[in-house]
């Protein structure tokens, strides 16, 4: 879990990754905003895809938090 957390933190702090995520979210938001209200399938698809990206970010952030918790616990055991 430590290695996973370290790698997740590196990915989340990557400028290129951040820009790619922003572009994907912006794309889906734009599709949603420029679609017609009756384009339900298109709107739902954009919503679910943007939501999936946010879920991936959430999982990565969770891994970082777990890593930090493990490190804190290890440090307190060593003291």
- Say yes or no to pLDDT of 79 above 90: no
Per-residue pLDDT of 33-78, as tens digits, reads 999 999 999 999 999 999 999 999 999 999 999 999 999 998 888 7
Q: What is the pLDDT of residue 5?
A: 96
Output the pLDDT for position 77: 81
Contact 13, 2 (CB under 8 A): no
Residue 25, C-beta contacts closer than 8 angstroms, at least 6 positions apart: 50, 53, 54
List, in sequence order, every beta strand (DSSP E) within 10-76. Answer: none
Helix axis angle, 15-34 relative to 2-13, nearest 10°? 70
């Amino acid at each position: 879990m430590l290695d996973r957390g370290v790698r997740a933190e590196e990915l989340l702090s990557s400028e290129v990754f951040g820009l790619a995520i922003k572009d994907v979210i912006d794309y889906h938001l734009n599709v949603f905003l420029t679609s017609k209200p009756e384009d339900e399938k298109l709107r739902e698809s954009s919503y679910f895809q943007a939501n999936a990206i946010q879920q991936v970010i959430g999982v990565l952030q969770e891994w970082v938090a777990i890593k930090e918790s493990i490190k804190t616990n290890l440090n307190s055991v060593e003291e």
